[in-house]
Amino acid sequence: MTRLIDIGLEEQSVLLTRMGELTYQTLSLSIKAYLEGSTSLGHVREMSDNLMVMASKVEDRTFELIARFQPVASDLRAIKSYMKIGYDFARYGRYALDISYINDQVDGLKKCDSNMKAFIEEMSEKVLQMVKISVDALRKHDVELASTISQTEREVDQMYHTHLKNLITDKQTSNKCVISSALMTRYLERIADHAVYVCESITYIVTGEKNSLR
């Protein structure tokens, strides 16, 4: 027999899946504009604001589920994790907005050479892959898929630290390129971290175990 709280939890899962799909679209748009040197700030801001509204709705529903029902331990585990995932998805949106803002203010990669552009593009592809894994793992509640994120997260981390070291030693890079690429790689590294947090929450919901995927 289906419990009322199960219906509420399913509604949370559906809302978060829609939110996850929007986060992927928002980040893809922001990153694409950055790489191409086009403008997307207004559109990305609107999408990011929508994600914040959806995150607030997830939070409101969380407290409603606790107040209306008497959740057992497994229910509370899912409720808490869904609220956390909502926050992580909202952070995706804010980083997408940051990327668009830097793109407008510092001209993206216009002052960088082709090698820098290729590096940022490769790192961006890896991060978008991680975001897609986090959204798909949530949709399917797939622990095995969630666990695959670890290797790419390590690669992104390594790329970020390597890039910072290269910026320190390269005296030829323009100031605008240094600022733009340093901030961009930092935002990508943080997005990757939140993708891992989402996958860890999914693992916790399904198995009850708090496993680190980093």
Q: What distance separates the 2 farthest-apart alpha carbons in the chain?
A: 68
What mean pLDDT do residues 76-99 have?
A: 95
Q: How is residue 126 written in tokens?
A: 């890896």
Which residues, other chains included, contact 191 with Cβ-Cβ below 8 Å and sequence gap of 6+?
Answer: 27, 91, 92, 95, 127, 130, 131
For residue 19, which of 90, 108, 83, 99 has the smallest C-alpha distance?
A: 90
Flag whether 66 is in a domain: yes
Q: Is the dihedral of CA 120, 122, 123, 126 positive or negative?
A: positive
pLDDT at 1: 62
What mean pLDDT do residues 201-214 have?
A: 92
What mean pLDDT do residues 185-212 have?
A: 95
Flag whether 118 is in a domain: yes
Mean residue pLDDT of the chain comes to: 93
Cα 146 off chain centre by: 14
pLDDT at 85 over 70: yes
What mean pLDDT do residues 89-114 have?
A: 91
- Establish how many alpha carbons lie within 13 A of residue 160's alpha carbon, considering only the half-sphere containing its beta carbon: 20
Question: Is-contact 9 75, C-beta < 8 A?
Answer: yes
Flag whether 214 is in a domain: no
CATH of the domain at 178: 1.20.58.220
pLDDT in tens, 125-182: 999 999 999 999 999 999 999 999 999 999 999 999 999 999 888 777 788 888 999 9
Flag whether 213 is in a domain: no
Q: Comparing 7 with 173, which gets the higher pLDDT? A: 7
Rounded distance, CA 116 to CA 81, Å? 38
Q: At how many degrees (to 10) do helices 149-169 and 175-207 cross?
A: 160
Identify the weakest region by mean pLDDT among 2-16, 21-35, 170-184: 170-184
Model-level pTM greater than 0.85?
yes
Domain coverage including residue 194: 4-207
Give the CA radius of gyration of the chain. Answer: 19
Our count of domains for the chain comes to 1
Flag whether 103 is in a domain: yes
Flag whether 43 is in a domain: yes
